[in-house]
Amino acid sequence: MKNGGGNRVAVIGTGLVGASYAFALLNQGIADEIVLIDANENKAAGDAMDFNHGKVFAPKPTDIWHGDYRDCRDADLVVICAGANQQPGETRLDLVDKNIAIFRSIVESVMASGFQGLFLVATNPVDILTYATWKFSGLPPERVIGSGTILDTARFRFLLGEYFAIAPTNVHAYIIGEHGDTELPVWSQADIGGVPIRKWIESKGEQAREDLERIFANVRDAAYQIIEKKGATYYGIAMGLARVTRAILHNENAILTVSAYLDGLYGERDVYIGVPAVINRNGIREVIEIELDDHEQTWFHHSAATLKEVLARFFFR
């Protein structure tokens, strides 16, 4: 256990996502301390050794070690990457039964340490497990955040940028809803350089609309495609988690599409779901309620209902 002070991030689960996330933190100099916790202690210990050997190349000094749940007591942020992985042919929601029990044990162990920070959840199905983390921890909902649709939104912006030959940083578009098969693109609010995307395609006719539909399908199904090709997705989500972590530790008030608790906004209550939210040192400062057209609103309600149907098996009794 270290006592060097500064921002401490505890990474629980050092599999492909957890290790890639810790690697991103180290390379971007986001945290002062990173503690790696895994049921396979040798794996966490080996990762810590490997990371430490590369610290001379990192942009800032960072303490990295393998530890246990006691190290969560002084953590500013606990990031949960542990749990069963999505297999070829499985949806994210298929993982619920496997991961709920794992999460109860993890969250209760973290809270027993005296932890008073924020949770960030990456494990799928992320919206369900973020809700579970909130319930098991007893923390206020704003202090429990899921990675939500941050990666879906990044995929969306990348593919749109590629299609229009515009840098993705200048494409402003959101994927919201479940991080899964019922997620939706908010076409009504998507723009490039302040010009609505729907206006960009007006002159291109039906073919362009079909192209945009294919782009969204590729966003929604990207994980399946990557899993089929290489077994798992981890680099993209690791960088997304690092972005959320930077927003938290640096108190940025950044707007990111995370899994946030809704209590009336978007016409939904008692569900964690992917929406734009302002993220800072205190967690979710506020949820941004973007205006949806009628079709998008109906789609969003369907997405929330899908999540609530799963949650009902465990929490709504």
Q: Which residues have a catalytic role annotated? A: 179
9 and 35 Cβ atoms separated by less than 8 Å: yes
Q: How far apart are CA 146 and CA 263, in angstroms?
A: 16
Classify residue 235 as exposed, middle or buried by CB count within 10 Å of its CB (0-12, 13-18, 19+).
middle
Beta strands in 58-207 (DSSP E): 63-66, 77-80, 118-121, 144-146, 171-172, 175-176, 184-185, 191-192, 195-196
Q: Which one, of 176, 178, 174, 181, lies nearest residue 154 by Cα?
A: 174
b/e per residue, 61-91, with b = 16+ CB within 10 A? ebbbbbbebebbbbbbbbbbbbbebbeeeee
Helices first, then strands: H and E counts in the chain: 10, 14
In 3-state terms the chain splits into helix, strand, coil percentages (rounded to 5) of 50, 20, 30
The sign of the dihedral angle between the CA atoms of 259, 264, 266, 271 is positive
* 3-class DSSP state of 119: strand
